[in-house]
Structure 1
Amino acid sequence: MERCTSIPQAMREALPILATLNGHGHEAVFVGGCVRDTVMGLALKDVDIATSATPEQVVALFAYCIPTGLQHGTVTVMQDGTGYEVTTYRKESVYEKHRRPESVAFISDLKEDLLRRDLTINAMAMRLSGDYYDPYGGMSDIQSKQVRCVGDAEARFQEDALRMLRALRFASQFSFRIVYRTWRALLKHRELLRYVAMERVQAELDKMIGGPAPHYAAALLAGSGLLAYTLEPLPAARALLAEAAKTERIQLDYLPALHGVDIRYAALMTQPSVTPQEAKATLQALRMSGSRSGVIMAIVSLHHDMVVNRSPNEEKLRVSWIEAVLRYGQVAAASWLHIAEASGREHAFWADVPRMKLWLSQMEISSLKELALDGNQLAAYWDRKPGAWMGKTLKRLLLLVALGELSNSQEQLLKQVDRWKEETDES
């Protein structure tokens, strides 16, 4: 039996909980991700504990407990101000709609408890002594850099369809391969993904796209075709899958160079095969928050406008670019330039990036709030009632200042307004 020679600090701080449970005749171990990450030498995110003690026995042993999920056997035990989830060993009944067990039964056998978990790398335990308990070969799979289901892969995926996305996510997170039987079972049962709530699909995609190897995650998603079977259609994903099937490859190796999950979503959704309408519908289907959707769609819409208005004439390109910056904002513009630059020659505007960066830096202002004239001042100067005309006039002034054709001073802005007024009167 292998032993951990250096237990991480986050786990050491929870050792008193294991000691208390052990001291009262109960088995207690660290389980799940904290054990996996310790084996792999990674920083821990959470520390979870499993025990043969029932929830009632756990509550009786500790002064400060929170009944987090008693029906599932989980109690949060407070230790020095930190909460640790302590869950009773359990086995699960038949799963309801391929997602959740209809009921759970508490048991005293650790091996049987670990059997209900999804992947071998997540089905390891560590005792108080630091000894590992690994009945399903998780350590061997880590050494072999592979993802494998615990026991029968078909049974695991039929129990909980979310496990298929989790298998892809862990494979991409650690750059592991998925073993043949697990992959075959995933392809066989991928239609069960329709039982998974779209919010959970989004959470897994966020971790994949925001992870260390988003290009590998995209390849796994394309190869499995999994996203064609979601509860609600994901038009952008289907467009990318169709493009991948047609061309056999979409160049996404640059994705890790983009820092932030939302800019990576935008990079995927500005691929030539995806329309802005498909991008928006996909974000809505994934239950993306309004703020995140706004960030992503600003980049997507800016890209679409630039493609539609592209011109070989440099001055026309400059005007189109500055109009796009004013419409969607400097943040979206900078993100779009970052995507174009990282994409390399594959991107339609890669060669234009240097001059577009220059034009962006030369813009004196980029929003109406920076204009040295506001709507009230304009209405008072023209002695007109406020209305839609004000916004149109201010935007015309903003464009001229942004283009460098007009100084951003109230005097010069009002002179320009006078010129327009004279032109209107003459006509």
Structure 2
Amino acid sequence: LLSNLPLLSLSVRCLNRRGVGRISIIPQSDTKQVMVNSEKDRASLLCMKALANRGRLDSVSQQMASHPQYLESFLRTQHYILYMDGPLPLHYRHYIAIMAAARHHCRYLVSLHSAQFLRVGGDPLWLQGLEAAPSRLRHLDHINKVLAHQPWLTARSHIQALLKTGEQCWSLAELVQAVVLLAHCHSLCSFVFGSGSDSDTTSTPRVHHGTPPGYCLCDAANGNTAGPTEKAPRRREDEAMFSADPSRFVTDPEFGYQEFARREEDHFQVFRVQDYSWEDHGFSLVNRLYSDIGHLLDERFRTVASLPFPHSPDLKRAIWNYIHCIYGIRYDDYDYGEVNRLLERGLKLYIKAVACYPDSSKTPLCPLSWASVKASEKVHVNLLVMEARLQAELLYALRAITQYMIA
């Protein structure tokens, strides 16, 4: 993620759940390549990069570090969405992330992106609430609400309303990036609550030596020393970390997840993957409209699918297909009797809570039968929930965009 930055040689002390460890940052000028000889070394290196990028090692990175091959893919995708080339300005991206996280009352992500919003030059007045934001951003509120809670309601008319002519309309490229960002943050909320990372907001946002939460260690390496001496921006970021109230950015708070309507009871039809799939349709569309993001997202899906799972591979597929099923997505070639045979009731309740209403579940307890399961395996389940939910939201949004384009 930060491999091309001319980082200075320095050491930082990194707090994690296992204690205090020392991570060395190797100078870029050193001709020797850093060899990562074990998963532990790889995890340490990734944690160092996350710390250098954010100025703090957050609990989400700590949790994901038990699967370093996934963490690497996740950090690469998130950095691309938030900071690399794209049609949306940086402060818009962080504000959209705030809107997405607020739908699940995720104070952790709202605080994090509020601080980053200010760091990239966002107007502090916008943080007073959604009504203080420009109308273009407010227009995203409906699709944000639908994707977060009932993505099967996403329709061509929503896309058409956002792309209609006028000063406040969105371009197709802007909308695709916004949709990817919304889905990314919605699904990340599931991981945050499922892993108990939301409690991270109660800890101090600073790292050692008074580095502010939004200050990047690489700034100092590049000679940008103004950051630590500018008291006002630091105070604004600190205030954002502690005072950001998710409810300020939420309209229609009663709107939430509801059981997907049965085909025989309502007009909602099951989403058949054979008709519109990520591999055959979604990947190519999103990659064409938002350059390279399709490859990065596909890498995430493939990485989580390839992570070693000590239990039956069939259990892993059952978890993925069960999450898609509760979002109305079905696979014609899958026997759904497998879900009931492989997932005991407590695990199904846990998965559904984390996927569909993570904020009401807070830190849901894993089933008793999973009490002896390793922490890395519980993280693995939460990663499956996050990625399956992410793909489900993207499928509904991209199908609606496709319908708009061919209409």
TM category, shorter? under 0.3
State the TM-score, normalized to the length of structure 1: 0.25
Which has more strand, going by share of residues?
1
Larger Rg: 1
- The TM-score, its normalising length taken from structure 2, stands at 0.26
